[in-house]
């Protein structure tokens, strides 16, 4: 990534975008997870000075605190986790204003970051998308829509998972597929994700948010 390209984005731009692609439009994301993704997207901005091979959490934390302020649009809400406060929830989530900001600014941010997503992430995403499109569950949803009969096993298989896969992992796979559907302009993928969230809400932890209303 050329320096002049990355300099077109602020730390706030990258941090809020990182929160979004980690699923921060529907759940709280740990500060360290956001910091790691910021580093992967823009290592020159989010690394230590003396040891640039390591991510630095401070720029991410400062960027999120800035994005939280009303004068900056109140794009996120939350706080950094505190190790010594056992009851501190911590983590960050996009506000409604933040979701709207992402809708407006995502093309601009991805102009500089989209094609620079780490190759490992791209390959993993491509594989998951290909497996979804050829899965029996997705094909039944494509043919029958909301009336599609899809079992737990079929649903899990479409995400390259098993019936023993934990709900949090299934949620992460759905988040990734939804983001991918947005990126490649495939509304039917986003609709499949929403369908699965409703149908398997109990399995996923009772989360039935309608993603289409948020993005």
Residues 74 and 173 in one domain: no
User: Domains in the chain: how many in total?
Assistant: 2
Residues 112 and 147 in one domain: no
Residues 169 and 194 in one domain: yes
Q: What is the CATH number of the domain that holds 90?
A: 1.10.10.10
Mean pLDDT within 134-158: 94
Give the span between the Cα atoms of 114 and 107, in whole angstroms.
Answer: 9
Range of the domain at 12: 3-116
Give the span between the Cα atoms of 151 and 137, in whole angstroms.
Answer: 8
pTM, rounded to two decimals? 0.58
Residues 127 and 162 in one domain: yes
Residues 66 and 143 in one domain: no
**Which residues are paired to 151 by β-bridges?**
none
Residues 8 and 89 in one domain: yes
pLDDT digit string (tens) for 59-108?
A: 999 999 999 999 999 999 998 876 545 445 679 999 999 999 998 998 88
Residues 126 and 104 in one domain: no
Residues 109 and 132 in one domain: no
């Amino acid at each position: 990534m050329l320096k002049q390209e990355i300099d077109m984005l602020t730390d706030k731009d990258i941090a809020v975008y990182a929160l979004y692609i980690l699923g921060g439009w529907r759940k709280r994301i740990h500060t360290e997870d956001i910091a790691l993704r910021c580093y992967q997207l823009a290592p020159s901005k989010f690394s230590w000075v003396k040891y640039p091979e390591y991510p630095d959490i401070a720029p991410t934390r400062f960027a999120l605190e800035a994005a939280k302020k009303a004068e900056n649009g109140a794009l996120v809400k939350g706080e950094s986790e505190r190790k010594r406060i056992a009851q501190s929830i911590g983590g960050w989530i996009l506000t409604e204003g933040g979701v709207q900001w992402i809708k407006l600014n995502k093309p601009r941010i991805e102009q500089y970051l989209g094609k620079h997503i780490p190759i490992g992430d791209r390959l993993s995403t491509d594989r998951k998308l290909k497996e979804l499109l050829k899965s029996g569950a997705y094909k039944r949803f494509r043919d029958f829509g909301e009336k599609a009969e899809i079992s737990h096993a079929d649903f899990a298989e479409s995400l390259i998972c098993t019936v023993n896969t934990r709900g949090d992992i299934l949620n992460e796979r759905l988040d990734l597929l939804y983001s991918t559907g947005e990126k490649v302009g495939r509304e039917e993928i986003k609709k499949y994700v929403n369908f699965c969230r409703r149908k398997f809400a109990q399995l996923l932890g009772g989360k039935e948010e309608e993603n289409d209303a948020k993005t």
